[in-house]
Structure 1
């Protein structure tokens, strides 16, 4: 059977969700990273092998890195960006030498994914990740107080945000601020407003075209190295998939993905196809994008979002959002059959539920919610495969 290679994300030895937990979920592998290595520095063979042996001792495999981060110096082409690119190239060589075959990364400036509420309560008592557009404006305009932000929004939106801000308690304001300032995945260190404002200021003069040019420059430098090392690069789309905090976002649409693949044609240049991130935009046809880019997809994040006309969206159950997950899995199986491979995938952004409500985990990455998502996805996959309807 050519089924997907089922994995879960693991944040390393300090993760509340253990390797034993992941193995019990039914996953056969993990995607992980050396979060202890500062961004821009070298991943050594010794450090990679140490992590790999830890995973394999638990009866699992590690073949996908998530993520080998790209520094803001590289994204801006400032400071130490050439040294960071050399470290990235050598890290790719070391990963290839250790048998790691897929490297995920993103090109989102300053901040990774953003949510206004990371513990939004559902009627059944579980919690989920939620992005509320109005609350985001409250954060940008009145909590972060980004210079010039007010001029970027319609006057009626600013007035609604001001009314919302004035109605919020101090505790609600602190909660929103804390959610928006979460650190990078795998880190317990939150950002400060001063840090974020300083980093935003460094992107003055960098619009979407220039940022995309910097991405393509980076890829021209690292993709040949990856290809020689037997490693495939897989870019994760923007989350949310539109500009935020005055920053450009350049991997949000089908056209963005096509531009990337055309700019640096190589079997080592491809996509981490996240159905949730792309699916948060109504103009992205997810099954059609899978069909178009199937030969360049190296890794899959299967999650579902439900959006509204105001630009809000939340993490739905894996089979119950705006994206037709049955159609997605049918297309993935067709891609695998055509290419003769098993693509690595993972469930993503599970709900906090049951006993995990009493535990501290990285938001979206509790054990039970992701186990539920994996079980649902696996069930759909097996049913489609057994019925041979792809």
Structure 2
């Protein structure tokens, strides 16, 4: 049987590497007709699906008879093809599957008994992603997930989440304290096992930062919290198929020099796709906000991405909850898409394109 591949509206295979930098949408796991129409109405041609949690309530969630609400699981080739074809039927391109539920690989991250079984399931999932014609797999290394513990009002009273390190208690989330060496050893095992599979499957693996990027949470070290640790991650098991799911919001939380980071990883071809958002403040205390009023100059960073040759997908990440918004914050995302597309158009005009 011939392996299917992503195709455009004319039925031609898509060469994602040949596409220019472009703005798309994502951050949802249920590609309903309403969401897909909305994406297209905003002038976007690209989406990614964020499968951060498993839920039986989403009819188009990749599924098979092995998936319980907790425990080992993998996603089937057939359902991944169905997801891609559903998106292509809306004249859109599926660029990435972003995240698998934490329960699919928590034993791997923490080095617990049963990690060998989990890694085989993850390998199968990555193979199936590649067979299904989906070019990228975004992942994180956060056994406890994303932490937020404050809500603030930003411009015009829009709601935004935040983090205050002083409000975090000392309770252990996974029964004991783990060391950095343990987490690095577990991560190296993950890469050594999975990167050869990703290479064979033609899948790019994209690492997301820890959020918040603090040294430890609940007794678990947060490895991907700074520039140096990301350099180490990219050099640990060298592969052209390993790069960054470049979340600008998390990097802004770190307080790193974003221009230096973009140049370093951009010139090495390690920026695979971008989450474009910003925050006010840096760890240990920050809150999310609109992309035009955070820590960095959005136009400067988008211009730099363009100039270092980044040609991937840029999506708005979390956005403030504006008046009349939905749970997915579609109005806030529409503002961010328009802002990003306007900046990208201006950048191209500046360069005579």
Deviation at 1:205, TM superposition (A): 5.0
1:204-254 CA distances to partner (integer Å, 9 max, x unpaired)?
A: 352112101111110111011101111100010000001222220001111
Unaligned 5+ residue runs, structure 2? 1-17, 56-62
The reply to whether residue 114 of structure 1 matches residue 110 of structure 2 is: no
- Give the alignment partner of residue 290 of structure 1, picking from 262, 270, 293: 262
The reply to whether residue 75 of structure 1 matches residue 109 of structure 2 is: yes
The reply to whether residue 227 of structure 1 matches residue 196 of structure 2 is: no
Q: Match of 1:355, SS? A: coil
Cα separation, partners in 2 of 1:19 and 1:132, compared to 1, 3 Å: same
Give TM-score, length-normalised by structure 1. 0.75
How many residue pairs align between the two structures? 316
Cα separation, partners in 2 of 1:93 and 1:221, compared to 1, 3 Å: same
Conserved? CA contact 1:117–1:130, under 8 Å: yes
State the partner residue of 2:223: 250
Q: Match of 2:138, SS? A: strand
State the partner residue of 2:246: 273
1:293-345 CA distances to partner (integer Å, 9 max, x unpaired)?
A: 1111111111111106x7211112112211222221112112326xxxx3012
Runs of 4+, deviation exceeding 3 Å: 12-17, 33-40
The reply to whether residue 312 of structure 1 matches residue 285 of structure 2 is: yes
Alpha-carbon distance between aligned partners in 2 of 1:96 and 1:260, rounded to the nearest angstrom: 23
Give TM-score, length-normalised by structure 2. 0.83
Cα separation, partners in 2 of 1:375 and 1:261, compared to 1, 3 Å: same
Q: Match of 1:336, SS? A: coil
Cα separation, partners in 2 of 1:16 and 1:121, compared to 1, 3 Å: farther
The reply to whether residue 381 of structure 1 matches residue 344 of structure 2 is: yes
Cα separation, partners in 2 of 1:3 and 1:386, compared to 1, 3 Å: farther
State the partner residue of 2:60: none
Alpha-carbon distance between aligned partners in 1 of 2:208 and 2:34, rounded to the nearest angstrom: 23
Larger Rg: 1
Q: Match of 2:308, SS? A: helix
Q: Match of 2:239, SS? A: coil
- Give the alignment partner of residue 160 of structure 2, picking from 128, 149, 168: 128
Alpha-carbon distance between aligned partners in 1 of 2:290 and 2:155, rounded to the nearest angstrom: 13
Deviation at 1:10, TM superposition (A): 4.5
The reply to whether residue 351 of structure 1 matches residue 316 of structure 2 is: no
Q: Which deviates the most, 321-330 or 366-375?
A: 321-330
The reply to whether residue 54 of structure 1 matches residue 54 of structure 2 is: no
| RMSD between aligned residues | 2.4
Deviation at 1:72, TM superposition (A): 1.1
Alpha-carbon distance between aligned partners in 2 of 1:324 and 1:33, rounded to the nearest angstrom: 27
1:147-168 CA distances to partner (integer Å, 9 max, x unpaired)?
A: xxxxxxxxxxxxxxxxxxxxxx
State the partner residue of 1:241: 213
Alpha-carbon distance between aligned partners in 2 of 1:97 and 1:84, rounded to the nearest angstrom: 20
Alpha-carbon distance between aligned partners in 1 of 2:320 and 2:336, rounded to the nearest angstrom: 9
Cα separation, partners in 2 of 1:211 and 1:16, compared to 1, 3 Å: farther
State the partner residue of 1:45: 77
Compare the two structures and name the one with the higher helix fraction. Answer: 1
